[in-house]
Chains A and B, each alone.
Chain A
Amino acid sequence: MSQDGRNLESVLVAMAGQIDWPEPSPQLEARVRSRIEAGATAVRRRKPGRPIGVLVVASILLLTLVVFPTTRHAIGDLLTEAGVRIGVIDELPTATPTDLSLGAEVTLAEAIEHVSFTLRIPGVPGPPDGIHLEGENAISMYWDGPILLTQRSPSRLYAEKRLVADTDLTEVTVEGGLGLWIQGAPHEFTLVDAEGDPIEVTTRLAANVLLWQTAGVDHRLELTGSLDEAMEIVDSMEMGG
């Protein structure tokens, strides 16, 4: 039978009545009340720390940071605003399989409650495999891949990156503003306070990183994929509350 011109919206609405919807069991209300009266709460499913084996690096020797002189000033400004310092070191430590040391896992609703800014959730690559608190006013979303997106309200904390040669820094436009794409050789990442003293004992060994700031919120997107993949994630970000 010809179906040319069938209205898809009407078909979808008609299908609503043909879905095998579940009916709440007669015991649902009683069970909820029983749990409330017993003070029970749902069990939060926590995942153990995730090794990031693909990010393991070998020791890297004395090398020089490669930054084009003409971009150094602009990058410095960006990094100051975004709460990130870049430092040049002679040698990165020999890395071993490490852990991302993510904070406590929370639900999206709890994450939204945790931060003072409007948390944004990317539609790509789909629902996060984990949402974690990152100390005061910061949330990280994790996807197996690995991909890590951190949103942080500017504070006295600085994210410090230590780079060695073969790490390329490129200025890019992200959400209409200046961003920084760091790609190439692995680089060390740690949180430091305003005086530069490390706060996190565990150092993350990041993959490629996109740094930018939108609406006063620092964003850090770490992934093993390309800049195009990073931008696809950025383009899919939406308001979370």
Chain B
Amino acid sequence: MEGRPLEENDLIERSRDGDAVAFGQLVRAHQQMAIRVAYLVVGDHAEAEDVTQDAFVKAHGALDRFRPGSPFRPWLLQIVRNEALNRVRSSKRRQRLALREGSDPVTSGAAPSPETEVVSSDERIRVLAGLDALPERYRAVLWHRFLLEMSEQETAATLGIPPGTVKSRTARGLERLRRQLGGDFG
């Protein structure tokens, strides 16, 4: 959202005044990240869509409690995550994340960029299983930091924990994951 804070603040202000079109623009701007945050928790596409829809409606109802000038996205994503956690709690289940079909650069012959790690299908399955086996407090931080590529600050705001806790959980979570993966990764 860098480079357009004034526009976003204006949309929030208009949304507060009952302008549903303005809120629709906020939905469009943030829906992709919102549905990913929901998906990380519920592990199901349709459920993630439902959660995202509910969360946007709740966020609209809570706009009066949003502090003007503060970052909107982490505030919204915290609502999304809470809604997703509520949904998982109700259903008592969480599905695992799925990998895209044909996304194996090793077997598909796709040429990765020099900066991109080549991660084989076996590795991805092992790493995903390792992530899934971590305690939730570590898993959530690693998901947001690496799979969603959020900064420490935004991860902290989205998860509702101090930035220092994000830093320490990132380090401990990676260490635990390395141990689970049997020393194949540095």
- Contact indicator A19/B27 (Cβ below 8 Å): no
Partner of A6, one of B24, B90, B100, B184: B184
Alpha-carbon gap, A113 to B162, bound state (A): 18
- CB–CB B86/A29 < 8 A: no
**How distant is B60 from chain A, measured CB to nearest CB, in Å?**
5
Assess A15 versus B147: contact at CB under 8 Å? Given A5-B186, A20-B98, A108-B82. Answer: yes
Residues of B within 8 A of A124 (CB): 135, 137
When the two chains form the complex, which single residue of B57, B62, B89, B119 contacts A11, counting CB atoms closer than 8 Å? Answer: B119
Q: Tell me if B57 and A29 are in contact (CB < 8 A).
A: no
A31 CB–B CB distance under 8 Å: yes
Render B19-49 as a binary contact track against A, CB cut-off 8 A, 1 for contact: 0110110011001101110010000010011
Q: Are B27 and A32 in contact (CB-based, < 8 A)?
A: yes
Q: Fill in one digit per residue for A5-29: 1 if any B CB lies within 8 Å of its CB, else 0.
A: 1111111111111111111110011
Considering only CB atoms, which chain A residue lies closest to B55 in the complex? A42
Binary flags per residue of B171-186, CB closer than 8 Å to A gives 1, else 0: 0001001100101111
Instruction: Establish whether residues A127 and B88, one from each chain, have CB atoms under 8 Å apart when the complex forms.
Output: yes
- Cα A25 to Cα B185 with chains together (Å): 37
Question: For this complex, into which size category does the number of interface residues on chain A fall?
Answer: 35 or more
B10 interface residue per 8 A CB criterion: no
Instruction: Evaluate contact between B99 and A18: CB separation under 8 angstroms.
Output: yes
In the complex, residue of chain B having the shortest beta-carbon distance to the beta carbon of A47: B90
Judge if A33 is at the interface, Cβ distance under 8 Å.
yes
Q: Are B147 and A41 in contact (CB under 8 A)?
A: no
CA of A126 to CA of B62 in the docked complex: distance in angstroms?
A: 26
Q: Is the CB of A28 within 8 A of B39?
A: no
Overall SS of chain B's interface: helix
With A15-B124, A16-B148, A22-B48 already in contact, the answer to whether A109 and B36 are too (CB < 8 A) is no
Contact: B97 with A19, CB < 8 Å?
A: yes
Q: Determine whether the beta carbon of B127 is less than 8 Å from that of A15.
A: yes
B117 and A11 contacting across the interface, CB-CB below 8 Å: yes
In contact, A36 and B52 (Cβ under 8 angstroms): no
Bound CA span A71–B180, Å: 46
Residues in B with CB closer than 8 Å to A3 are 123, 184-185
Highest count of chain A CB atoms <10 Å: which of B57, B60, B128: B57
Contact of B14 with A by CB under 8 A? no
The residue from A8, A21, A239 contacting B160, defined by CB atoms under 8 A apart: A239
Chain B nearest CB from A28 CB (Å) reads 6
Q: Are A7 and B185 in contact (CB under 8 A)?
A: yes
Contacts of A36 in B (CB 8 A): 20, 23, 57, 60
Q: Are B85 and A8 in contact, CB atoms less than 8 angstroms apart?
A: no
Bound complex: CA A109 to CA B86 (Å): 11
Taking the nearest CB of chain A, how far is it from the CB of B19, in angstroms?
10
Given A21-B39, A32-B56; A126-B136 close (CB under 8 Å): yes
The answer on a CB contact under 8 Å between A236 and B137 is yes
Please state if A4 and B31 are interface contacts (CB–CB under 8 Å). no
Most buried by A among B34, B128, B177, B184: B184
- A123 surroundings in chain B (CB, below 8 A): 135-137
Which residues of B lie under 8 Å from residue A16 when comparing CB positions? 146-149
CA distance A16 to B99 in the complex (A): 10
Nearest CB of chain B from residue A19's CB, rounded to whole Å: 6
> Lowest 7 A-B CB distances belong to which pairs?
A123-B137, A12-B146, A22-B45, A8-B185, A14-B117, A42-B54, A20-B98
Jot down 30 A-B pairs with beta carbons below 8 A, ordered by A.
A4-B186, A7-B185, A8-B127, A8-B186, A11-B117, A11-B119, A12-B147, A13-B149, A14-B117, A14-B118, A17-B103, A18-B100, A18-B124, A21-B36, A23-B35, A24-B52, A28-B56, A29-B24, A32-B56, A36-B57, A41-B57, A107-B58, A108-B82, A108-B85, A127-B85, A238-B137, A238-B162, A238-B165, A239-B162, A240-B160
